[in-house]
């Protein structure tokens, strides 16, 4: 069985876990703490970044974008009767372009302005030892991220108000990327869902999908999530 090396509150790992669930791919999920920079991890990926996918023949695919593309190209097969393959990118060039635009929005802009700041300050600084990123939380960075998240929720709400899913009629990697980042912050109780009703309704829909259940079962030792984290009707 393939293996996925991930960290529970790493949004890039979470996007791949959601993708595995949506595509019905079974894999052994192995936890890594990337700040430890274990020699075994660096041998797999010298950058020390997650996620890392290990095929049965020990073929390695590292990094969220290359892995997402790899799964799209190798696991999305033709349906019964030669019907269109399952895709999480979109069925037309315009749909795929919009999906990729929104994935970049969340993995670059949202990560830089919101999730990286909160996860670094609240997770890595707390759990990592001194000299490997551990230390006192910079609350100014956290406050800046909590302020930044509000216009992002409004943007998600605008997309969700006028589309069935964020990139169009069907669920795509854009939804998985957005949900991966927000679910990490939701574990910490840092998503102000009252800001936008459409964003909240969209998240309730994706949170209710079977692919999301493993994420709702995540538990960081010494850092339990708030009650609403696993509540589908929060």
Mean pLDDT for the stretch of residues 154-169: 98
| Dist CA 24 CA 18 (whole Å) | 10
| Range from 28-37, 38-47, 129-138 carrying the lowest mean pLDDT | 129-138
State the pLDDT at residue 83.
Answer: 52
For residue 4, the cross-strand partners are: 29, 53
The answer to whether the bond into 51 is cis (omega within 30° of 0) is: yes
Antiparallel, parallel or unpaired: β 60-62 and 52-54: antiparallel
Token pair listed for 47: 């950058």
Sequence spans of domains, the chain: 3-82, 93-230
Q: Of 51, 66, 15, which Cα lies nearest the Cα of 180?
A: 15
Q: What is the pLDDT of residue 84?
A: 55
In this prediction, residue 77 carries a pLDDT of 61
For the 93-230 domain, the top CATH level (class) is mainly alpha
Query: 192: pLDDT confidence band, cut at 50, 70 and 90?
Result: very high
pLDDT over 90 percentage in the chain: 85
203 exposure class (CB count in 10 Å sphere: 0-12, 13-18, 19+): buried
Domain covering 3-82 in this structure, CATH number: 3.40.30.10
Residues 68-88: what's their mean pLDDT?
74
Range in 11-25, 68-82, 90-104, 196-210 with the lowest mean pLDDT = 68-82
Helix 173-187 / helix 93-104 crossing angle, nearest 10 deg: 20
If you search the block for the tokens 């990926």, which residue do you land on? Answer: 45
79 pLDDT band, cuts 50/70/90, is very low
Q: At residue 129, does pLDDT exceed 90? A: no
pLDDT band (50, 70, 90) for residue 80: very low
Give tens-digit pLDDT for 193-232: 999 999 999 999 999 999 999 999 999 999 999 999 999 9
227 exposure class (CB count in 10 Å sphere: 0-12, 13-18, 19+): exposed
pLDDT, average across residues 9-28: 96
Q: Which two tokens stand for residue 45?
A: 């990926």
- pLDDT range class, residue 66, cuts 50, 70, 90: very high
* Residue 233: predicted pLDDT: 87
Alpha-carbon distance of 27 to 189, in angstroms, equals 29
CA distances from 35 to 2, 21, 38, 101, 220 (A): 24, 26, 8, 29, 15
């Amino acid at each position: 069985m393939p293996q996925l090396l991930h960290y529970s509150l790493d949004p890039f790992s979470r996007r791949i876990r959601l993708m595995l669930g949506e595509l019905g791919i079974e894999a052994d999920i192995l936890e890594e703490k990337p700040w430890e920079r274990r020699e075994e991890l660096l041998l797999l990926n010298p950058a020390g970044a997650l996620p890392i996918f290990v095929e049965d023949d020990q073929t390695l695919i590292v990094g969220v974008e290359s892995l997402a593309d790899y799964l799209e190209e190798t696991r999305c097969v033709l349906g019964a009767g030669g019907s269109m393959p399952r895709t999480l990118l979109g069925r037309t060039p315009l749909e795929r372009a919009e999906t990729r635009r929104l994935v970049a929005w969340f993995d670059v802009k949202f990560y830089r302005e919101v999730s990286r700041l909160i996860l670094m300050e609240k997770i890595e600084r707390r759990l990592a030892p001194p000299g490997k990123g551990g230390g006192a939380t910079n609350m100014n960075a956290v406050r800046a991220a909590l302020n930044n998240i509000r216009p992002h929720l409004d943007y998600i709400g605008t997309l969700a108000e006028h589309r069935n899913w964020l990139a169009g009629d069907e669920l795509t990697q854009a939804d998985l990327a957005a949900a991966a980042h927000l679910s990490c912050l939701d574990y910490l109780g840092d998503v102000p869902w009252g800001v936008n009703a459409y964003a909240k309704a969209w998240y309730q829909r994706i949170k209710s999908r079977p692919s999301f259940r493993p994420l709702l079962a995540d538990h960081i030792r010494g850092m339990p999530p708030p009650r609403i984290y696993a509540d589908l009707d929060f």
